[in-house]
Amino acid sequence: MSDMIPETSAALFVPGGRRRHRKPRQGGPGLRRALVLAMAVPVASVALSAPSAFAVDKGIGTTAKDTADLDPDDQQMVTNLEARVVDQRLGSNVSGVVLDAESDDTLWDHNGATALMPASNVKLATATAALTVLGPEHRFTTKVVYGDGTLTLIGGGDRTLTSADLAELAKTAVDGLKAAGLTTVKVAVDDSLFPEPTLANGWNTGYYPDSVAPVRALVVDGQGVDDTSLDAGQAFAQQLAANGVTVDGDVTRATASEHDVPVARHKSAPLSDIVHTMLKTSDNNMAETLLRMTALGAGRPATFEGGTEVVRQVLSLRYDVDLTNFEMYDGSGLSRADRIPAATLAEILELLTQPRYERTLGSILDGLPVSGEAGSTLGPEWGRFDDVNSKCAVGKVHAKTGTLTGAIALSGLTQGKDGKWKVFSFIENGSTAGPNDIKDAMDGLAATVNGCWA
């Protein structure tokens, strides 16, 4: 889009300095095998939530280093944050953490270990696990098979399937049918890849199908309807009819037979592209689909529980992220039961500053909305970074937004006044101020970390 503010190159986020707390671990297939083995045996929740060596070394969730040890710019930032975090618009239940990406020091901590409702900041954990387990080049496949007079459209967890993609599948299927002398066919959909339930613990009934649809393995054009699978099947049947094939009866739900003949298939864009879009626009449906596909990639059932279990395993086993007080029930952050400390979100984001994770996690960094970026959740159309205190940070903050009734969060990265990259996370729950006022106050905190609001 021509009106979008160009993003800073990912390479600029790679700080120098040494890493004294994280140890490289096996990735790719080796990681998937390790996850499968680890999760084959029940793991005590206390083991998953124990503080990691990283957290102990870095002091996450504890008092930040004495301001006397900070350089003048960081001292001023901390002083300003202490004054601005008590802004009445943020309410009394607010937490925040700022890390120095180069030294790994905790520069500022305000209730950082307190677990609060993080809203869409949960997507940072979902994206990290998906890219780690499946790989950034992974693609999702939608298939069409034929057997016993029926064409079956099989969902493969591609939340980006479009009408144009479906038209290509239909055209290929029709060519095959006509070549076989067939002009009439029944149509079925197979979405058995994702078992029930389709709704997560903690979702309000008002969320679906607009904010999120019941989670199924088949959907076309991101439709917000109660049954996305039958909706896709009906659209497929219409495409077949438009190409001269008669559809016999209504579209039904069925499980394809292993003896059915493959007719057509469509592959999605790479996972890295999907993650990029999911984060820029905070797409809840993409996040929920990725959670389930990540579970399958690690050998677990494609359920909410299977997906969140894998996320925990990836964060703790692969990246040594501290999961103390970490509670996750869905992939999008819509669940009002989700609880994540700001310190944990900062740890996840800190991974993006490490060159060794750039190939795997780079699309998270690229996908973070940029302050003032039209078309993203930090764009002017959402009233972000547009007041007297924060507009100086336009184009300088890369962060994931989070908004629910009673919960607003902002977690990301920015280059401080001293030229060093800072990782931050801010979460508030329960403020009685208007959402726009809360966001203005939170944008001001990010501008404070950047140093432009000195």
Q: Domain boundary at 239, 268, 297, which?
A: 268
Residue 161 is assigned to a structural domain of this protein: yes
Q: Please write the tens of the pLDDT for every residue from 298-327.
A: 999 999 999 999 999 999 999 999 999 999
Q: Please write the tens of the pLDDT for every residue from 388-445.
A: 999 999 999 999 999 999 999 999 999 988 888 999 999 999 999 999 999 999 999 9
Least confident of 2-6, 23-27, 97-101, 340-344: 2-6
Report the pLDDT value the prediction gives residue 209, as an integer from 0 to 100: 87
The pair of structure tokens assigned to 410 is 């902002």
Confidence band for 67, pLDDT divided at 50, 70 and 90: low
Report the pLDDT value the prediction gives residue 103, as an integer from 0 to 100: 87
Three-state SS sequence of 99-154: EECCCCCEEEEECCCCEECCHHHHHHHHHHHHHHHHCCCCCCEEEEEEECCEEEEE
Mean pLDDT for all residues in the chain: 87
Q: Domain boundary at 215, 233, 268, which?
A: 268
Spell out the alpha helix ranges (H) of 328-413: 342-350, 358-367
The pair of structure tokens assigned to 325 is 């007080």
Least confident of 16-20, 152-156, 240-244: 16-20
Do 263 and 144 meet the contact criterion of CB atoms below 8 Å apart?
A: yes
Residue 1 is assigned to a structural domain of this protein: no
Q: Of 398, 400, 394, nearest to 422 (Cα)?
A: 398
**Which residues are paired to 116 by β-bridges?**
340
> How many domains are contained in the chain?
2
What sign does the CA torsion over 429, 431, 432, 438 have?
negative
Q: For tokens 């994931």, what's the residue?
A: 400
Backbone φ and ψ of 253, nearest 5°:
-100, 130
Q: Please write the tens of the pLDDT for every residue from 128-178.
A: 999 999 999 999 999 999 999 999 999 999 999 999 999 999 999 999 999
Check whether residue 334 and residue 238 sit in a common domain: no
Check whether residue 157 and residue 99 sit in a common domain: no
Q: How far apart are CA 286 and CA 122, in angstroms?
A: 13
Residue 2 is assigned to a structural domain of this protein: no
Instruction: Name, in order, each residue with C-beta under 8 angstroms of 316's C-beta and a sequence gap of 6 or more.
Output: 48, 52, 323
Check whether residue 18 and residue 97 sit in a common domain: yes
Task: Reply yes or no on whether the pLDDT at 345 is more than 80.
Answer: yes
Give me the domain span that covers residue 181. 141-268
Q: Please write the tens of the pLDDT for every residue from 206-215.
A: 898 889 999 9
Single pTM value for the model = 0.86
Q: Mean pLDDT throughout 266-281? A: 98
Task: Reply yes or no on whether the pLDDT at 18 is more than 70.
Answer: no
Helix (H) / strand (E) element for 292: namely helix 284-297
Q: How far apart are CA 310 and CA 308, in angstroms?
A: 5
Q: Domain boundary at 221, 243, 268, which?
A: 268
CATH number at residue 187: 3.50.80.20
Report the pLDDT value the prediction gives residue 223, as an integer from 0 to 100: 79
Check whether residue 312 and residue 225 sit in a common domain: no
